[in-house]
Amino acid sequence: MNYNADEKGYYGEFGGAYIPEMLYPNVEELRQNYLKLMYEDSFQKEFNQLLKDYVGRPSPLYFAKRLSEKHGCKIYLKREDLNHTGAHKVNNTIGQILMAQKLGKTRIIAETGAGQHGVATATVCALMGMECIVYMGEIDIARQAPNVARMKMLGAEVRPAKSGSRTLKDATNEAIRDWINNPVDTHYIIGSAIGPHPYPDMVTRFQSVISEEIKWQLKEKEGRENPDYVVACIGGGSNAAGTYYHFLHEPEVGIIAVEAAGKGVNSGESAATSALGKVGIIHGCKTMLMQTIDGQITEPYSISAGLDYPGVGPMHSHLYKSGRAEFYSATDDEAMAAGLELSKLEGIIPAIETGHAFAIFEHKKFKKDDVVVISLSGRGDKDLNTYIDYFKLA
Amino acid sequence: MSNRITLKLKEDKKLLSIYFTAGYPSLNDTVKIIEDLEKNGVDMIEIGLPFSDPLADGPTIQESSTAALKNGMTTEILFEQLRDIRKTVSIPLIIMGYFNPVLQYGVEAFCKKCQEIGIDGLILPDLPLDVYQDDYETIFKKYGLINVFLITPQTSNGRIDQIDSASDGFIYMVSSASVTGSKSGFGQEQENYFERIAKMNLKNPQIVGFGIKDEETFKQATKTAKGAIIGSAFIKHLTAYGTDKTNEFISLIR
Ligand SMILES: Cc1ncc(COP(=O)(O)O)c(C=O)c1O
């Protein structure tokens, strides 16, 4: 089976470009050019140089000894948290800002949930001297205050999304509306492996550096390129897509996705899309989607703003439906506990999104010799306020 | 029987079409609004099936959609409200909405229901041309529904030709690069665009939408186009004056 996008952007039955005609010229321009541009030698050279000198790649693959002892398997951490700006998001924004420049765009818009993608976008806009507008749900602005401040310092304008659930979904709606209103000079840097084709494929390719590095790093450490499992948390699915990419067609590598169960999958306050969703259309693509029987998109919930999204990228819907990946979900409490455990055992405070991936040990027992690579997608600095409130640290 | 849209387009006049969101201001206003619009000489109506995430709409239609959903509007209820509409109303009726609610209802079931009621066409902005042609065109045709496509000032001539040949009613000409309800008045850019399209001699007539709000914009839009669609301005009128003053709104247009 093929797990990559076909020419029209379909992963099995999922994907495509369900966009209003107003977006057609922009999306079509991107579709026709993205592969050609991103594999030009000059593009690759600049991209790789920036990833190395500016982002600090390769990010380490770290053997987590104490965590491994605790959970009875060999755990490696892919340290995306050590990237400049503190998460995997910057891999994609570096790629897309170069793409925007090649396309002659002068104005950048983005949506953000946790603020990590907003910060990563504001950062590359500062780097390239481009105008930057970030849409962010009102609720997320309140719960991710440090990242709002960072974006402002970096020169971006943060515009609150005040409709609907006032979180990531609505910020994305507002960004799309902005793009409709500004079709000529603006590039929309989508922050996850979602949206109309070619976005899921493009974002996945920019993030695929994660699994590319895992391969040679693991070879150095374990004498083999393929782990037994790769594990990642899924919001829209960009860190997961990048972590899985070079293993998708390696059947001996188990692929594990962890979604946000919020207060429990059946609590009515959850973001566990694979468990609660049905096939539908959101933000221009056909994918698994949390919705009412009537096709109205429902409001998800998670303690982590970055996973608080009612859909998943189309690649992940396909991995789920085809059975290629195992899907689990972790509650708020499980994710917070896993984050605390990682802090205490390894001296690494993860983002709350990332904490969900580490809650996998609550749900799955690994064998002693299993090599398990976990995507440590981001650091916890932005979440300190939530950690303080939750663990009564103050 | 010929489709009512086709017949209406043959009339020797400029057409006024009105959009409203079903279930707004109150859940059960749908039939009254439609009947009043026809009584006041409106030529065609777009009945908005509300959606939680209307990407192509500005704040006015978004807010009316949110309110309609809060009022309890559903696809099933809308169909129920419209069940006997053809006993009192004879102008063309179009359902306008986003694709996901149609997909969830089942595209064929939705189209069948539309035919039973006497709906003449659908406007689903996020159902793209190629997907329509590959997967749904035969179903739409089977139930006698005209599918209406949009074009914008950014749509290339090649694409417009494609859309023209895929259409068999009218082309919905979005007046400017914008979501609904956001521009005030038309400038030189619109004039040029209207003229460019007029010169293309398309087989389908064009009806202009987005940004029409009064007599002046209606006249400008219909100088070359066959008609114009008013949405946000009518919703604002409903918000301000309720459902009893439709005549006043229409008399300000023509
Ligand atoms: C640290 C971190 N991990 C994961 C995510 C979830 O996004 P994605 O599923 O695209 O990786 C986010 C989103 O903000 C994030 O900040």
- Domains held by chain A: number: 2
Average pLDDT over residues B103-108: 98
* Residue A287 belongs to some domain of the structure: yes
Are A80 and A224 part of one and the same domain? yes
Do residues B233 and B182 lie in contact, with contact meaning Cβ atoms separated by under 8 Å?
no
Instruction: Measure CA of the first residue to CA of the last residue in chain A; give whole Å.
Output: 52
Residue B90 lies in a domain: yes
ipTM for this prediction: 0.95
Strand partners for A255: A230, A325
A283 and A315 co-located in one domain: yes
* pLDDT in the model for residue A20: 96
| Ligand 1 atom with least separation from CA of A240 | 11
The average pLDDT across A299-308 equals: 93
Given the structure tokens 């309110």, which residue do they identify? B67
What is the distance between the alpha carbons of residues A76 and A344, in angstroms, rounded to a whole number? 17
pLDDT of residue A222 exceeding 70, the answer is yes
Distance CA A231, CA B247 (A): 63
Kindly state whether A173 is in contact with chain B, defined as any CB-CB distance less than 8 angstroms: yes
- Range of A78's domain? 57-86+208-391
Residue A134 located in a structural domain: yes
Q: Do B102 and A295 touch (CB under 8 A)?
A: yes
Instruction: List pLDDT tens digits, range A333-381.
Output: 999 999 999 999 999 999 999 999 999 999 999 999 999 999 999 999 9
Across-strand partners of A111? A135
Respond yes or no: is residue A252 known to be catalytic.
no
Q: How far is the CA of B201 from the centre of ligand 1 (A)?
A: 50
Which pLDDT value is given to residue B161? 98
SS3 A94: helix
- On whether the CB atoms of residues A133 and A106 are closer than 8 A, the answer is no
A192 and A141 together in one domain: yes
Query: For residue A194, what is the DSSP state?
Result: -
pLDDT at position A117 is 97
Predicted confidence (pLDDT) per residue in A137-149, tens digit: 999 998 888 999 9
- The reply to whether residue A297 touches residue B177, judged by beta carbons under 8 angstroms, is no
Per-residue pLDDT band for B1 (boundaries 50, 70, 90) equals low
Task: Give the C-alpha separation, A146 to A140, whole Å.
Answer: 11
Residue A44 falls within a domain, yes or no? yes
Please indicate, yes or no, whether residues A188 and A317 belong to a single structural domain of this protein.
no
Q: Is the pLDDT of residue A156 over 80?
A: yes
Taking each helix axis from N to C end, the angle separating A199-207 and A24-38, rounded to the nearest 10 degrees, works out to 30
Quote the pLDDT of residue B183: 67
Q: Are A272 and A304 in contact (CB under 8 A)?
A: no
Give me the residues of A, 268-297, that contact B with CB < 8 A: 278-284, 289, 291, 293-297
State which of A162, A177, A202 marks the end of a domain: A202
Contacts for B107 with CB less than 8 Å, ≥ 6 apart = B135, B136, B139
Six token digits for residue A138: 């009102």
Same domain, A382 and A265: yes
Distance CA B33, CA B13 (A): 23
Q: Give the residue, out of A238, A317, A352, A382, with the most ligand 1 atoms within 8 A of its beta carbon, to mutate for a pocket test.
A: A238
Q: How far is B68 from chain A (nearest CA, A)?
A: 12
- pLDDT for A113 beyond 80: yes
Which one of the listed residues A74, A78, A89, A169 is annotated catalytic? A89
Sequence-separated (6 or more) residues with CB below 8 Å from residue A240: A193, A232, A233, A234, A257, A316, A375
pLDDT score for B186: 86
Query: pLDDT tier at A272 (50, 70, 90 boundaries)?
Result: very high
**A288 alpha-carbon distance from chain centroid:** 16
DSSP-derived pairing of the beta strands B171-174 and B206-209: parallel
Q: Is A249 on the interface with B (CB under 8 A)?
A: no
Out of A179, A202, A225, pick the residue that ends a domain: A202
Q: How far is the CA of A309 from the centre of ligand 1 (A)?
A: 11
A258 shares contact with chain B (CB less than 8 Å): no
Cα separation, B59 vs B63, in Å, equals 6
Same structural domain for residues A74 and A100?
no
Is B216 a catalytic site residue?
no
Does residue A376 belong to any structural domain of this protein? yes
Last residue of a domain, one of A202, A221, A238: A202
Query: Does the beta-carbon distance from A291 to B151 stay under 8 Å?
Result: no
**Distance of CA A210 from the midpoint of ligand 1 (Å):** 14
Strands A61-63 and A74-78: antiparallel
**pLDDT tens-digit series, residues A231-253:** 999 999 999 999 999 999 999 99
Q: Which of B78, B73, B86 is nearest to B35 (CA)?
A: B86
Which residue, among A360, A116, A124, has the nearest Cα to A260 in the 3D structure? A360
Does the residue A344 lie in any domain?
yes
Q: What angle do CA A312, B103, A257 make, to 5 degrees?
A: 15
The residue whose CA is least distant from atom 10 of ligand 1 is A238
Q: How far is the CA of A116 from the centre of ligand 1 (A)?
A: 8
Lowest mean pLDDT among A24-28, A210-214, B176-180, B218-222: B176-180
Distance between CA atoms of A169 and A368, rounded to whole angstroms?
40
The DSSP string of chain B is ---HHHHHHHSSS-EEEEEEETT-SSGGGHHHHHHHHHHTT--EEEEE---S--TT--HHHHHHHHHHHHTT--HHHHHHHTTTGGGT--S-EEEE--HHHHHHH-HHHHHHHHHHHT--EEE-TTS-HHHIIIIIHHHHHHTTPEE--EE-TTS-HHHHHHHHHH-SS-EEEE-SSS-TT---S--HHHHHHHHHHHHT--SS-EEEESS--SHHHHHHHTTTSSEEEE-HHHHHHHHHHGGG-HHHHHHTT-
Instruction: For residue A173, give the nearest of B55, B125, B127 by CB distance.
Output: B55
> Which distant-in-sequence residues (6+ apart) come within 8 Å of A74 by Cβ?
A63, A68, A222, A369, A370, A371, A372
Asked if residue B55 is part of any domain, the answer here is yes
Give the pLDDT band (50/70/90) at residue B65. very high
Task: Report residues whose beta carbon is within 6 angstroms of any ligand 1 atom.
Answer: A 87, 113-114, 116-117, 192, 233-240, 306-307, 351, 353-354, 377-378
Cβ of A12: how many Cβ atoms within 10 Å?
A: 17
The answer to whether the peptide bond before residue B25 is cis (omega within 30 degrees of 0) is yes
- B152-175 pLDDT per residue, tens: 999 999 999 999 999 999 999 999
Same domain for A360 and A233? yes
**Chain B residue with minimal CA distance to A283?**
B55
Q: Which domain holds residue B140?
A: 14-249
Q: How far apart are CA A254 and CA A219, in angstroms?
A: 17
State whether A66 and A187 are in the same domain.
Answer: no
> Does residue B191 or residue A40 have the better pLDDT?
A40
Flag whether A240 is in a domain: yes
Rounded Cα distance, A391 and A386, in Å: 8
CB-based contact B55 A177, cutoff 8 Å: yes
Contact B103 A282 (CB under 8 A): no
> Does residue A37 surpass a pLDDT of 80?
yes
| Single pTM value for the model | 0.97
- Is omega for the bond preceding B205 within 30 degrees of 0, making it cis? no
Q: Are residues A128 and A197 in the same domain?
A: yes
Task: Specify whether A228 is located in the same domain as A290.
Answer: yes
CA distance B41 to chain A (A): 30
DSSP A20: -
Number of domains in chain B: 1
DSSP code of residue A350? B
Instruction: Report which protein residue has its CA nearest ligand 1's atom 7.
Output: A235
Q: What CATH number is given to the structural domain containing B38? A: 3.20.20.70
